[in-house]
Structure 1
Amino acid sequence: MNADRIEKETMQGAKKIAHLFKRLLFKAIKPFLPYLIIVILIFMILAMLVASVYSAMPEAGALGGVNPSDEDKKVKQEYEALCDRYNLEDAWLINDAPCEPGGEKYEASPDDSFYPGQGIRKFTVLPDPYGSDKALALKWGQVHAAALYRAYNFGQEEITHKEEITKGLHPYFYYKQSYVYTDGNSETEKSIQYLLVEAFTIEGHYQFHYKWVTETHGSGENKVTITKEELKDTHQLLPNKWQRLEDWLVNEYKLNKVDDVPLARTAVWEAGQGFNEGKEWLRWLIKNKDIGDFVSIAMIPPELIPYFKEAEERFGIPWWFLAAVAFKESSFNPRAENTGTHCYGLMQLTPSNWNHYSVLLGFDPIVDRENPRAQILCGAYMLRELGLKNIDWDGEWKEQTLAVLTFYGGFRGSDATERCREEYATPIWEYADNFRFMDSAIWPVPGYYEISSPFGPRLHSILNTWRDHDGIDIPAPMGQTVVSVSSGVVTHTGNMSDYGLTVVIQDGRHRYLYAHLSKISVADSQSVEPSMKIGEVGSTGLSDGPHLHLGIWDLAKEGWIDPMLVLRGKEEN
């Protein structure tokens, strides 16, 4: 992965979107207007598209972010407000008593779906600790792209029907509540987490399944044991995951279902992805830093780590090597697709390889296509069959894996091996080294493992109102050392509203917020490594005593996730 490659892919994507819109526009107005007017309108629309998609560069502020014009910012805020409202329109809790080990699981199946029903009550936030709801939530760019297409399709000079479009595209979310048991020096404490079990969206109908696990943090008198439900797998039920979006386009825009819909859907979706583009930080990081220096286990999406480790147990390929391949191939995006080769998912298998290996491992090629667990296991199986069976992973494993990586990466020709070494294998080896030597993410307050307030909705101790707690609180003595859980770049130091003295660190996947500090030990733009001291525990800002508030924002999912997923301990069952 390098800056030139990303820049090239960005340009190719922009050209593709422009080409799709040009074809749609040409088809719509050809019967009515002279060719000269067509050329002028195409030029104007392409100019609008280019102006609408603005790039982001990281700032010193906590959120990095973009610098749009005042008008762009106003329009975007209007779309975001609509999305915030309608993403919660059908976000339902489906069980009145929390799940317990051995009890009812409250999970849907293809034959017993929660959609289109209603639950017990609606949520005021999207609470899934894994961020699965935030990843599937309707984004402002998708609504904007659909509104633009509506204006083009009906020959309107202004964008209209924004709320109707948002309502028509909004997702349906269904959650269960489940207990989290924490055993420390005192008696067992119970808290509640809210887990997404079903989502019906414009990019598929998903069902999520969970299993009970136990993990530990610390040892001796500081040992804390946590038992909770963990994401097991994800199924996408529709033979065509775009069915809902395509049906909506047919009904809304009166399209010919056979001829127009695939083109319209591709245009709207890819334009929406362009407006929502969230990779600006990663581009900046790659251009200005050595990306290998910012890769640590904390950067791996936490829900994927159990799947990598399961693949290691089954196929003998170290989890850290498989994670490195996935990062290189897809940047840990289970929906990544190469539009040229149609390789798909975390491990970027071709359609033929996916159909072959998924069946061999007992997966359904359609239902499990979006399942990260299936993608990782199939990729690992293929790598083993290609020749990673007898690698000395404690010896010269890098050179021993080169031939397999050359084939897997699609390098052919007389110079294939050397091109692979330079462009593909070496980055994978660097990532693997960084993942290998860290069994779990660093705990931010060494020696203090109690969680006084977990992630999720809670009654605020000072304000006495229900609020979404976007992180975890770790109580510790005033002045206790706080360390970085990850590699990264410091993007903010200083006071931040209710958070008080705060440090924000960012890598290629997450933004880590350390709040209520009494002292800051790093500077803006400084590079940090895992376990490096960044400050000291305090009680600044809106705080009822000395503690660290740690929040982790997932850049890809555009939302807070439960930090305990990143700080996962060692499983015991």
Structure 2
Amino acid sequence: MTNGDQLDQNIEQGSKQLANAVGNQAKKAGKKVGKKLAAKLLPILAKFFAATAPFWIILIIVLFTVAAIYSVFPGSPSTPGQDTQQIFFSLADSSENEKVKQYYIEIADKNNFRDAWLNTKFMETNTDILFAGKHEGIYTKEDIINLLDNSTYTGIHGKDAERVLSDYYGLDKAHKIDFGTIHAANLIKILTYGELNTTDEFKEQVGEAFRPYLYYKESTRTYCSLHETDEGPEWVCNTYNVYLLTEADTIKGHYVYEYEWQEDGDEAGTWSSTYEALVSTTLINKEWERLDRWIVELMKNPKEDPTMTRDMLIQAGIGFTEEKENLKWLFEGYYSDHNISSGIVNPALTQYFLLAEEEFGFPVWFLQAIAFIESGFDPEAYNTNTKAFGLMQLTPGTQKYAVDRLAAEYPHLLSEEFIFNYHNTPNKDAEYYKQAVSDPNVNILAGCLDLQSKGLDPTKIDWDGDWQSQTLKALAGYGGHEYVPKKLWSKYGVANTEESYSDEKVLAWAKDNYVQKIWDNAEKFSISTAWPFEGTYEVTANYGQKGNWANGWHTGIDFGMTTGTPLHSVFNGEVWDMGFQGDYGKTVIITNYVYDVWYCHLSEYRVKKGQQVDAGQLIAESGESGRGTGAHLHLEVRPHGGGYGDVINPLSILTINL
């Protein structure tokens, strides 16, 4: 075994020990961090410490493990002047850990609340401006409210909005800080300076430094449908008030979101919807700029490269926050094919797919199938071998070709900021183009241009007929299938190198290896979400409406309807749970492992736990069980495995595919 092999083995062992040290819930994050550390440290250690590498790795592991184990004990002494509240490395069920976790949650909640604004911009109003010289030390939530009450500012703060400020598309959720990220930042300080704990003041400072500045605007969504009455056809319309995120300055980056009014409808003229669609996302500073600056300041070294520390902090934060391994099917193959439909696609991404369909003619379901196979809908997916990036996995050459074409020929599809930056960046290097396609809208549009460059003309495809055979060659090229690998020659009857490049052999291999997966999933993504009931019912309580609920606002939508009204699954999925859920009464939870849809206050069940269901299938009947003021359906949508209050607007998945 070579020194390099031994080092690789030691690092892998170290990854596992580090994962165990940070607890079962953070195990996946520990492994991921370990692999990233291995990739970065291996070349360095192999070069400078080849002979003594095992010793150094063992030493690092011992230090990590001792620090982790020692700090977990509630009785561990703190250094003079530090608070007695202990830091923890594990999420094991203990009163001490729960106490610290709740403290972190309080820090995150008040800082997510602090700068949430309606009808204004970052440069116009934020609490840094308003509170300057008015307060010193740690802010409590009451301090923030009192200071706001005694300040004059433009726009409306979230505390005074009619409803809880929450973006219709759920964009703000990705920008809010969580307890895991705050905790991970404290661990970074502990490991950097060899401390046993951090002060409460430092914990508070992390929350304040990491807080998001979120800015929203008011908008509406109107849905109309044609109903038959005794007097003939009649249009019935419902208009919902929603909030849209327009700007977010976060530790990940400073983003600006732009929208355009759009009207959809069917060819038969039986329904229509009018709403503001998200058309662009623009990063106006360097990605992770705020977080990197914080890391450099923490290290007290302006020459410090924060990349490795940042990766550790982010991945460890995810591991601590996500006590359940949500969406593991994207990475480990546990996902059931039955659950794949348009219902698993983030509504914000669907808007971009719709824009691409309108401009280039590729069906939404076709593009979604490609993105699903290429990236699992991860906008930051990166292939270290090909350097392909983003939803549609664009290689560096494609990134440059497509971005240049979009800027020259399709500027109307791009934001003004994007066009301005493009024309004012004289030296566009590979990093520039990678950053350009990090915008999901640009990435999807660029993917369409790449498909065209592979010879796929959507106007010549019979999308209602044999579209599979007509797309085979272009998809094979898109997936990088240029020749049959030598190890597969016997399987595909290849006799020599020249024959390995023949269309017949390459297409046979590409179909088995890649294209068939896209075809199969395309059929599934053509399945739209369905309404949970037939007809029109009055909305008796809106999502986000403030009132006498456990957390002060309404976590779903209430539809007033008589007991016994048939209710249907909104997407393909399975019955995750059912039974009496306290105030929710009789409840059925349908999941597709991306979203959980809660149907509450039921009178009858029409499914069994674990049963697979299709979009539109009867699952229950409405009622008035549990806490309520009469018969109604409370419809609630949560990220899979999410707890109370971890919700999204149900309309975002119900109406996106109308």
With normalisation by structure 1, the TM-score equals 0.79
Distance 1:193 1:394, change over 3 A: closer
Deviations 1:65-103 (A, max 9, x none): x984336555444333321221112112236xxxxxxxx
Distance between the aligned counterparts of 2:205 and 2:294, measured in 1? 12
**SS at 1:134 equivalent:** helix
Distance between the aligned counterparts of 1:527 and 1:329, measured in 2? 26
The offset of 1:192, in angstroms, is: 2.9
Match of 1:374 in 2: 442
Counting only pairs closer than 5 Å after superposition, residues 44-55 of structure 1 correspond to structure 2 as 44-45=63-64
**SS at 2:541 equivalent:** coil
Q: Is the 8 A contact 2:296 2:306 kept in 1?
A: yes
Counting only pairs closer than 5 Å after superposition, residues 157-196 of structure 1 correspond to structure 2 as 157-160=196-199, 161-180=202-221, 191-196=240-245
Match of 1:444 in 2: 532
- For residue 449 of structure 2, what is the amino acid of its counterpart? Y
- Higher deviation after alignment, 540-549 or 555-564: 555-564
- Higher deviation after alignment, 201-210 or 78-87: 78-87
Match of 1:19 in 2: 38
The offset of 1:324, in angstroms, is: 0.7
Match of 1:232 in 2: 279
Matched, 1:406 2:476: yes
Q: State the structure with more CA Rg.
A: 2
Distance between the aligned counterparts of 1:128 and 1:342, measured in 2? 33
Distance 1:313 1:334, change over 3 A: same
Match of 1:260 in 2: 305
The offset of 1:557, in angstroms, is: 10
Counting only pairs closer than 5 Å after superposition, residues 456-471 of structure 1 correspond to structure 2 as 456=544, 458-460=545-547, 463=548, 467-471=552-556
Distance between the aligned counterparts of 1:529 and 1:289, measured in 2? 19
Match of 2:104 in 1: 79
What value does the CA root-mean-square deviation take over the aligned residues?
Answer: 3.9
Distance between the aligned counterparts of 1:250 and 1:499, measured in 2? 48
Matched, 1:209 2:258: yes
**SS at 2:296 equivalent:** helix
Mark the runs of 5 or more structure 2 residues left unpaired by the alignment: 1-27, 72-89, 130-152, 226-233, 408-413, 423-431, 486-505
Counting only pairs closer than 5 Å after superposition, residues 80-99 of structure 1 correspond to structure 2 as 80-94=105-119
Distance 1:348 1:46, change over 3 A: farther
Match of 1:61 in 2: none
- For residue 481 of structure 1, what is the amino acid of its counterpart? P
- Higher deviation after alignment, 207-216 or 197-206: 207-216
Distance between the aligned counterparts of 2:552 and 2:60, measured in 1? 48
Match of 2:651 in 1: 564
The offset of 1:475, in angstroms, is: 2.3
The offset of 1:561, in angstroms, is: 2.1
Pairing partner for 2:356 from 311, 323, 331: 311
**SS at 1:208 equivalent:** strand
- Higher deviation after alignment, 159-168 or 500-509: 159-168
Mark the runs of 5 or more structure 1 residues left unpaired by the alignment: 1-8, 53-65, 96-106
Distance 1:293 1:51, change over 3 A: farther
Q: Is the 8 A contact 1:448 1:474 kept in 2?
A: no
Distance between the aligned counterparts of 2:324 and 2:522, measured in 1? 22
Counting only pairs closer than 5 Å after superposition, residues 85-484 of structure 1 correspond to structure 2 as 85-94=110-119, 119-123=154-158, 125-160=164-199, 161-180=202-221, 191-214=240-263, 227-238=274-285, 240-257=286-303, 259-276=304-321, 280-283=325-328, 291-362=336-407, 363=414, 364=418, 368-389=436-457, 390-415=460-485, 417=507, 420-436=510-526, 438=527, 440-456=528-544, 458-460=545-547, 463=548, 467-484=552-569
Q: Is the 8 A contact 1:299 1:510 kept in 2?
A: yes
The offset of 1:12, in angstroms, is: 6.7
Deviations 1:386-432 (A, max 9, x none): 12214433333324333333332334542465554344322222210
Distance between the aligned counterparts of 2:456 and 2:590, measured in 1? 36
Q: Is the 8 A contact 1:459 1:466 kept in 2?
A: no
The offset of 1:14, in angstroms, is: 4.0
The offset of 1:442, in angstroms, is: 0.8
Distance between the aligned counterparts of 2:112 and 2:125, measured in 1? 17
More helix by share: 2
Matched, 1:489 2:574: yes
Distance between the aligned counterparts of 2:519 and 2:529, measured in 1? 20
Distance 1:19 1:288, change over 3 A: closer
Distance between the aligned counterparts of 1:315 and 1:529, measured in 2? 31
Distance between the aligned counterparts of 2:393 and 2:64, measured in 1? 34
Match of 1:3 in 2: none
Q: Is the 8 A contact 1:88 1:122 kept in 2?
A: no
Q: Is the 8 A contact 2:560 2:633 kept in 1?
A: yes
Q: Is the 8 A contact 2:217 2:244 kept in 1?
A: yes
Distance between the aligned counterparts of 1:465 and 1:200, measured in 2? 30
Distance between the aligned counterparts of 1:277 and 1:412, measured in 2? 40
Distance between the aligned counterparts of 1:490 and 1:531, measured in 2? 14
Deviations 1:497-549 (A, max 9, x none): 22211111111321111111111222222221111111001122222222212
Distance 1:11 1:488, change over 3 A: farther
The offset of 1:455, in angstroms, is: 2.2
- For residue 152 of structure 1, what is the amino acid of its counterpart? L
Distance between the aligned counterparts of 2:323 and 2:284, measured in 1? 27
Q: Is the 8 A contact 1:17 1:271 kept in 2?
A: no
**Identity, % of aligned positions:** 34
Distance between the aligned counterparts of 1:344 and 1:76, measured in 2? 35
Q: Is the 8 A contact 2:570 2:616 kept in 1?
A: yes
The offset of 1:136, in angstroms, is: 1.4
- For residue 157 of structure 2, what is the amino acid of its counterpart? K
The offset of 1:167, in angstroms, is: 1.5
- For residue 245 of structure 2, what is the amino acid of its counterpart? L
Q: Is the 8 A contact 2:597 2:635 kept in 1?
A: yes
- For residue 421 of structure 1, what is the amino acid of its counterpart? K
Distance 1:555 1:21, change over 3 A: farther
Distance 1:403 1:473, change over 3 A: same
With normalisation by structure 2, the TM-score equals 0.69
Deviations 1:354-373 (A, max 9, x none): 23212211254657544322
Distance between the aligned counterparts of 2:623 and 2:603, measured in 1? 4
